[in-house]
Amino acid sequence: MNFFANPLLPTPTHQDKATASVGDAMTTLFDPFGFGRAAFDYWRDSVERSVLYLDVMRERGNQYLAHMEQTKPSVLGFDTEVLVDGRTLPQPTNYELLRVIPPEGIETDPASRPFVVVDPRAGHGPGIGGFKPDSELGVALKAGHPCYFIGFLPFPEPGQTVEDVVESEVAFLRHVIERHPETSEKPMVVGNCQAGWQIMMAAALEPEVFGPILIAGAPLSYWAGEHGKAPMRYSGGMTGGSWITAMTSDLGNGLFDGAWLVQNFERLNPANTYWKKQYHLFANIDTESNRYLEFERWWGGHVVLGGEEIQYIVDNLFVGNRLSTAQLVTRDGRRIDLRNVRSPVVVFCSRGDDITPPPQALGWIRDLYEDEKDIIANEQTIVYCQHDTTGHLGIFVSSSVSRKEHTEFTANMDYIDVMPPGLYETTITHADDRHDGESLERDYLLEFSPRDFEELDREVMHKPEDDRRFATVARISEINLGLYRLYMQPWLQAVMTPEAARWIRRMHPIRLGYKLLSDRNPMSVPLPVMAEQVRQSRHPVDKDNLFKAFETMASDQIVTGLNAWRDARDGATERLFMDIYGQPLLQAAVGLYGDAHVHRRRPGDEPEHRRFLEQRENELLAKIAQGGPHEAVMRAVIYVLGGAPATDERNFKRLRASRAALEPGANLSDFKRLVREQFFILKLDREQALNTLPTLLEGQTNDEIDAHLSHLEDVLSASGELSEHAASRFAQVSELFNQARPVEKAVASSPQTPKQAPQAAPDKTPTANAKKSTTPRRKSPPKQ
C-alpha cells in the first residue's frame, strides 16, 4: 500500500496499471533494436512459461490419481488418529471421528473445552477445515483446545441416509464428552457449508451434547435470496425439480457422483474457472505452482454420495425448504425443530458469497420466529457476523479470515456461551483503529450489538411473492419426480450395472481434465525433462515489456467478457424463472393460487411447550427474592448493560474472574445458569427484581457493599464510558445497594458512576406493569 498517495485521487485499478505499463513499454517502439529485443524476450519467456505450466498440469494429474487411489484421501494438514469409525455403529456410515494430534511446540489442555470441526460433504473430499496451519483447527490448537475432526470416506455405506449421518455425529460428540470428564463445558462444534445444516439437525434432536455452534457459509433457508445475487436458488426450478437428481443417481447405479456438484460450483464463476485461475498460474509460474497444486489437491478430490442421501437433501432442503420451517420428521417420529437447539448459534456468512449469500444463511431465523422477543422466549442466543468481501471458500479456507474472525470466535466461545438469549450482530475492530487499543489482549476486539427483526430483514430481504414461486417449484418437482419414477426409473435401473456406472464416473469432464494431463498420457513423457531444463536457465521477462503488458490487457478483457456473459446468463435465468413460476395459471394448476395459501408458515404451537414455559416462569418468579450477593451483582450488571448499545468480552472476563475469586469452585456452566436466570427474572418482573436487590444483600457489611459497588463500577467501565441511560441505571442500582447497608451506618449518596459518566437522573422508565410488558410470550413454542 502506498501511504503517500493522495487520498483525494481515485485509486488506480488493475486495468489502469496495465495501461500505464503499456505506456512505459511504448517507448521501445522508438528503438528498433529495443522493439525486436522485447519481442524476442517475450517469445522466449512465453515458451518457457508454457512448458512449466504444462508440467504443473502434469503434476496436478499425478497428484489427483495418487490422491484418489488412497483408501482414506484427505487434505487435512495435521496428524490424526481414528477414535470412532462410523462403519462400526448400529447404523453404519462412512464418517469417522479423528483426534487431531497437536503439532510440535503446541500443547493442549485436556480440561479446556473440546473443539470439533465437521467437514462439508458436498462433492469434495474431507480436510478443508484443517487445510492450513492458519485454519479453524489451527486456531483452536494454538488456543490450547483439544481438537477433533469429523471427516468421511469416499464412498457411502450401503443404505446410508442423512438421518444415519446425523446420528453418527451425535455418537461422535458423546464420545468426545466422555474423553473429557474434567470439564463441564460441552464441545464447541464448527460446521462448514453442508455440515452446518447437518449439525443443526443433530443439535435439534440431541441438544444436550452441543456447546456453542458455529455454522460457516451454511445455507438453512433455501428459498431466500436477493434478486440478482443468488443464481443457485433457481437451479431446481430451471431443471423441473429433483427428478434429474434421481436420474443421475440411477445412472450411477445408486450412487451420485460429487463431480456434478463441483461442476455446478464452477459454472457460477466461468471467468475464474475457465481462464482467471489458469492464467494466474501461467503468468506467475515461478512462484504460484505450489499454492496452486495444494488447492487443487482438495478441489479435485471428488467423492460419491448415496442416491438416497442426495435425494433427501434436494427434495427436503433445496427444493422443499422444510428444515427452517420444522417440517422434517425422522423415521421414528421426532420432529426436527431448530427451536429446540439450546446452544448459542453463531452464523458466519459473507456478502461476497454467491453460493450461500447472507439471506440463505440468516433467513431461517425469520422463518422460525415472529420477532426477537420470540427468540428470547425460546431461550436461544443467535449471533451473526457478516464478512464484506470473501467468497464461499474463503469463509473457512482463507488464512486472513482464520487469523481474524475464527480466532475471535474461538477466543470468545465462553463469552458467547453465557450471553443472555436474544439476537446479536458482531463487529470486529482492529486494535490500531481504537482509542483503547493498547488495553486489548489481542489484535482484534469482538463486540456484540443487540439486533431486532427490522434490522435483520434488511439482510434477509424477504419477498412473499417469491415464496409462492418456490412453492410452485416444489409442487412441480413432486409431480415430475413421480412421473420419472413411474415411466423411466424402472428401465434405467434395469440396464445400469456397477461397471457401467464406474465408467460414466471416469468419463466425467472434470475427472478427465485431471487424467489426460498426467504421466498416464504418453504425450507427457518429455515434459519433466523439458521443465527441468527451463528451470536451470530461466529467462523471465520484465513487467515493462510491451508484449507482456498487452498479454495482461488481453487477459483482463477475457475476464471482463466472461463476467459479462455470466451476468447476462444469470439475469436471463432469473427473469425466466420469475416469469414461468409467477404465472397465475401454473400456480392454480398445482393448487397454490390465491392469498389463502401460506407458503412459508412458521411452526405451530405445541401445548407441551406452552406448559413448560408457564412452569419455567413460575419457577423463576419464585426465585426473585432468593439468592445472595452474586445474584444481586449479576442482576445489576444485566440491568445496567441492558440499556447499552453494545458490549464485549472485557465485561465478561472481569465478571467471571470476580466470581471465581469469590467462589473458587464455580464453573462456566454455573456462571451461565446464573446469567440466564437473572436475565429472565428481569424480563419477567423488572420492578420486583430491582426492589428485591436489598433483600439479596441482607447481612452484608458496609465494606462488603462497598466492594460490590466497586466491582460493579470496574465491570461496567470495562467497555468504555457508559451512555447517559446506562449511567442513570447505575445510579439507581447504587441507591438500591445502599439501602441494604446497616441502618446505623447507611450512606445517603451513591458513588460516582463509572468513568466519570455524566450524572443523570434516576431511571424513570415505568416498571409498574413490567411483568405484563416484558414477559416473553410466544404463540408457537417448540416441544421440549
304 with 255: CB under 8 angstroms? Answer: yes
How far is C-alpha 586 from the chain's CA centre? Answer: 36
Q: DSSP letter at 337?
A: -
Residues in the chain with pLDDT values less than 50: 1-15, 17-20, 22, 27, 643-645, 745-750, 753, 755-784
347 with 382: CB under 8 angstroms? Answer: yes
CA-based nearest residue to 447, from 676, 650, 211, 721? 650
Q: What is the DSSP string of 714-778?
A: HHHTTTSSPPHHHHHHHHHHHHHHHTTS-GGG--SSPPPPGGGPPP-PPP----TTHHHHHS---
Task: Provide the grid cell at 470.
Answer: 418456490
Place of cell 445489576: 636
Alpha-carbon span 281 to 277, nearest angstrom: 7
Alpha-carbon span 256 to 305, nearest angstrom: 5
Q: What is the DSSP string of 140-167?
A: HHHTT--EEEEEE-SSPPTT--HHHHHH
pTM of the predicted model as reported, rounded to 2 decimal places: 0.83
What is the model's pLDDT at position 18?
47
Alpha-carbon span 466 to 456, nearest angstrom: 18
For helices 32-68 and 285-299, give the axis angle rounded to 10 degrees: 30
What is the model's pLDDT at position 774?
37
Alpha-carbon span 449 to 17, nearest angstrom: 41
What is the model's pLDDT at position 261?
92
What is the model's pLDDT at position 784?
35
422 with 429: CB under 8 angstroms? Answer: no
The structural architecture, per CATH, of the domain 80-223+321-460 is 3-Layer(aba) Sandwich (3.40)
CA-based nearest residue to 509, from 242, 300, 280, 245? 300
CA dihedral 27, 31, 37, 42 (to 10 degrees): 20
Task: Provide the grid cell at 531.
Answer: 521443465
197 with 218: CB under 8 angstroms? Answer: yes
Domain ranges, ordered by start, for the chain: 12-69+233-305+463-604, 80-223+321-460, 607-774
- Cα–Cα distances (Å) from 305 to 172, 252, 256, 266, 686, in that order, read 21, 10, 5, 19, 54
What is the model's pLDDT at position 158?
94
User: What element of type H or E holds 96?
Assistant: strand 95-100
H helices, E strands: number in the chain:
35, 13
| Cβ-proximal residues to 697 (8 Å cutoff; 6+ apart), any chain | 628, 629, 632, 705, 708, 737, 740
Angle at 534 between CA 533 and CA 538, to 5 degrees: 130
User: What element of type H or E holds 371?
Assistant: none
What is the model's pLDDT at position 634?
85
What is the model's pLDDT at position 123?
86
Alpha-carbon span 715 to 637, nearest angstrom: 8
Taking residue 465's Cβ as centre, other Cβ atoms within 10 Å add up to: 9
The alpha carbons of the chain give a radius of gyration, in whole angstroms, of 30
User: From start to end of 519-625, where are the E strands?
Assistant: none
590 with 476: CB under 8 angstroms? Answer: yes
| pLDDT digit string, tens, across residues 418-464 | 888 889 999 888 777 776 666 666 778 888 888 999 999 999 988 88
